[in-house]
C-alpha cells in the first residue's frame, strides 16, 4: 500500500493514549497539561534546541532517555520552566509523580514545558493536574493533548500516516506546537511523534536527525531560536514488523513516512506564525548542492524585509535576492530566476538576476492570496531545497508586546 494520511494523530498508532486537561498553568480554564502514554516501553529519539540557554525539562529529559527508552510524555504550557528557581527539581518531581501513577520509573518519562521564560513554576499544579490527566487518558485523546500544549498558537496541529513495513500495517502520528520564537537549528518548538513500528533507538535517532534537516529546520517565523525546542519520537513496536535496525528498504520507507508527518507539521507551524496572514513556501532548484539550496530557501523566508513585502502584496523581489546574497555557501548570484505564484496565477519577476517586465497588478493579486510560492532557480547545479515561513504583520508586534499578560 502507499503511505496514506489518516486520522488520529499520536493516538493513531496501536497502544498509545493521550489526554489534555486544565490545571491552572494558564488562565481562564484553558487546557494546559498534556499526557501521552504507550501501553508498553518504547525506543525513543529526540533532538533539542541549540540555544545555550535551555529549559530545565530538556536537561532532565536528555538524562532520562539516555538509555534510548521511554514510556510517556508529560508537557505543561503557560510556563517554560526556563531560568526558573528550582526548575530541575520541579521537572524531576514531575517525572516521579507521573511514573508513579503510570506504574513505571521516573527515568521512563519525557518532561517538557512551554510558555513564559523566567517565571517560577510551582509543583502544586502538577500535583493537581497529573492525576487528572492520567484519569483522562483515552485512545482518542490526541485533540485534547494537541490543544493543551498550545501557547500563542491559534489552531492545534496534528497528523498521522499509515504504511506497511515488512508486511505489517504500521502508523506514525504527531502533534506539534509553535507560533512564535521559531527559527530552529535542530528541530523546533515542541513536536511529539509516536509510532507502533518496531525500530531500534539507534535507527530511530538516525532517521530523526536526518529528517529535521528538510522539515523542522526549514521553517522560520521570527528569527528567534527557543530555549525549549524539542522533537521526540517514541516507537512501541506493537505493529510487530521485523525490527528496523539500520539501512534497507523498510528504513527508507519509514523515513519517507516520517517526513510526511514532520513536513505536514512544519507547514502547519509556519502557517500559524504569530499574527501571520500568509504561508510562504520557497522552492530552490539549480543550486550547487542540496545543502546550499536549503540554506538559500531558509534565508529568503526568514528575511523580515521580504516577509513584510509579502504582507503588503508587494512583489519586491530585490529583497529575495538580497537574502540570497547573504546566505553562507559557495555559489554564484549571476544567473538567478525568481517566480512568484498562488492560486491567482504566476509571474516571473526576475530573470538572470535582473528585472523581468511583469504586471504589477497581476503580481499584487497573486501575492494577495493566503498561500504564496516563491520559486528560485540558481541555474548552476542540481541542488534542491524547500523552506516555509509566513508574512510579518502588525499583529506580531501586538502579540509579543504583551505576551506575559
pLDDT tens sequence across 160-202: 999 999 999 999 999 999 876 666 665 557 999 999 999 999 9
User: Domain spanning 4-271 has what CATH number?
Assistant: 3.60.70.12
- SS3 of 253-303: HHHHHHHHHHHHHHHHHHHCCCCCCCEEEEEEEEECCHHHHHHHHHHHHHC
CA–CA separation, 377 vs 383, rounded Å? 10
82 is catalytic: no
CA–CA separation, 29 vs 39, rounded Å? 29
SS3 of the chain: helix, strand, coil, percent, to 5? 35, 30, 35
DSSP state of 41: E
Summarize the confidence of residues 317-326 as an average pLDDT. 97
Q: Which three three-digit cell numbers place residue 389?
A: 515561513
pLDDT at position 222:
72
Q: Where are the alpha helices (DSSP H) in 330-393?
A: 360-367
Question: Binning pLDDT at 50, 70 and 90, where does residue 1 land?
Answer: low
Q: Which three three-digit cell numbers place residue 166?
A: 515488512
DSSP state of 11: G
Whether the Cβ atoms of residue 119 and residue 79 lie closer than 8 Å to each other: yes
Summarize the confidence of residues 121-141 as an average pLDDT. 97
Does the fold of domain 279-401 match that of domain 4-271?
no
pLDDT at position 187:
55
pLDDT at position 17:
98
Cell match 536527525: residue?
209
pLDDT at position 181:
62
pLDDT tens sequence across 56-91: 999 999 999 999 999 999 999 999 999 999 999 999
% residues pLDDT > 90 (the chain) = 84
CA–CA separation, 194 vs 11, rounded Å? 8
List beta partners, residue 164: 169
pLDDT tens sequence across 252-272: 999 999 999 999 999 999 888
For residue 58, the surrounding DSSP H or E stretch is helix 56-64
CB atoms within 10 A of CB 327: 19
Residue 61 phi, psi (nearest 5)? -65, -45
pLDDT at position 220:
86
Summarize the confidence of residues 320-325 as an average pLDDT. 97
CA–CA separation, 197 vs 228, rounded Å? 27
- Taking the CA atoms of 43, 47, 52 and 56 in sequence, report the sign of the dihedral they define: negative
Whether the Cβ atoms of residue 352 and residue 259 lie closer than 8 Å to each other: no
Whether the Cβ atoms of residue 237 and residue 243 lie closer than 8 Å to each other: yes
pLDDT at position 229:
86
Q: Right CATH number for 279-401 from 3.10.20.340, 3.30.1330.60, 3.40.50.970, 3.30.160.250?
A: 3.10.20.340
CA–CA separation, 228 vs 114, rounded Å? 7
Q: Which three three-digit cell numbers place residue 313?
A: 502584496
pLDDT of 6 above 80: yes
- Specify the pairing of strand 383-390 against strand 219-220: parallel
Query: DSSP 3-state assignment of 229?
Result: coil
Q: Which three three-digit cell numbers place residue 254?
A: 519509514
Q: For the chain, what is the mean pLDDT?
A: 94
pLDDT tens sequence across 268-292: 998 888 788 999 999 999 999 999 9
pLDDT at position 248:
95
Report domain extents, the chain: 4-271, 279-401
Q: Which of 80-84, 341-345, 349-353 is predicted least confidently?
A: 80-84
Beta strands in 56-199 (DSSP E): 69-79, 109-116, 157-165, 168-177, 190-195
pLDDT at position 404:
58
pLDDT tens sequence across 97-126: 999 999 999 999 999 999 888 999 999 999
Q: Which of 188, 195, 339, 393 is catalytic?
A: 188
pLDDT at position 332:
97
pLDDT of 388 above 90: yes
pLDDT at position 189:
78
Amino acid at each position: 500500500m502507499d503511505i496514506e494520511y489518516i486520522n488520529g494523530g499520536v493516538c493513531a498508532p496501536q497502544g498509545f493514549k493521550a489526554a489534555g486537561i486544565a490545571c491552572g498553568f494558564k488562565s481562564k480554564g484553558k487546557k494546559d497539561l498534556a499526557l501521552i502514554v504507550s501501553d508498553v516501553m518504547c525506543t525513543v529519539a529526540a533532538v533539542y534546541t541549540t540555544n545555550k540557554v535551555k529549559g530545565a525539562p530538556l536537561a532532565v529529559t536528555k538524562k532520562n532517555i539516555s538509555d534510548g527508552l521511554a514510556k510517556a510524555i508529560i508537557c505543561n504550557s503557560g510556563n517554560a520552566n526556563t531560568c526558573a528557581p528550582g526548575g530541575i527539581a520541579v521537572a524531576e518531581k514531575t517525572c516521579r509523580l507521573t511514573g508513579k501513577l503510570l506504574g513505571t520509573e521516573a527515568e521512563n518519562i519525557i518532561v517538557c514545558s512551554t510558555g513564559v521564560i523566567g517565571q517560577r513554576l510551582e509543583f502544586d499544579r502538577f500535583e493537581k493536574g497529573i492525576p487528572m490527566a492520567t484519569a483522562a487518558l483515552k485512545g482518542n485523546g490526541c485533540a485534547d493533548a494537541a490543544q493543551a500544549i498550545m501557547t500563542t498558537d491559534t489552531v492545534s496541529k496534528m497528523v498521522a500516516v499509515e504504511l506497511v513495513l515488512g508486511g505489517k500495517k504500521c502508523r506514525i502520528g504527531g502533534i506539534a506546537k509553535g507560533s512564535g520564537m521559531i527559527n530552529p537549528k535542530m528541530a523546533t518548538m515542541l513536536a511529539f511523534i509516536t509510532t507502533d513500528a518496531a525500530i531500534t533507538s539507534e535507527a530511530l535517532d538516525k532517521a530523526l536527525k536526518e529528517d529535521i534537516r528538510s522539515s523542522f529546520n526549514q521553517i522560520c517565523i521570527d528569527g528567534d531560536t527557543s530555549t525549549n525546542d524539542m522533537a521526540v519520537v517514541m516507537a512501541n513496536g506493537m505493529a510487530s514488523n521485523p525490527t528496523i535496525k539500520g539501512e534497507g528498504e523498510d528504513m527508507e520507507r519509514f523515513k519517507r513516512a516520517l517526513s510526511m508527518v514532520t513536513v505536514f507539521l512544519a507547514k502547519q507551524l509556519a502557517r500559524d506564525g504569530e499574527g501571520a496572514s500568509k504561508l510562504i513556501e520557497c522552492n530552490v532548484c539549480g543550486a550547487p548542492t542540496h545543502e546550499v539550496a536549503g540554506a538559500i530557501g531558509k534565508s529568503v523566508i526568514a528575511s523580515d524585509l521580504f516577509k513584510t513585502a509579502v504582507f503588503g502584496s508587494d512583489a519586491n523581489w530585490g529583497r529575495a535576492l538580497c537574502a540570497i546574497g547573504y546566505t553562507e555557501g559557495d555559489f554564484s548570484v549571476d544567473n538567478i530566476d525568481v517566480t512568484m505564484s498562488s492560486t491567482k496565477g504566476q509571474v516571473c519577476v526576475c530573470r538572470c538576476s535582473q528585472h523581468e517586465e511583469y504586471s504589477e497588478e497581476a503580481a499584487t493579486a497573486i501575492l494577495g492570496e493566503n498561500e504564496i510560492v516563491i520559486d528560485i532557480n540558481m541555474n548552476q547545479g542540481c541542488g534542491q531545497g524547500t523552506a516555509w515561513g509566513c508574512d510579518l504583520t502588525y499583529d506580531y508586534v501586538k502579540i509579543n508586546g504583551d505576551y506575559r499578560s
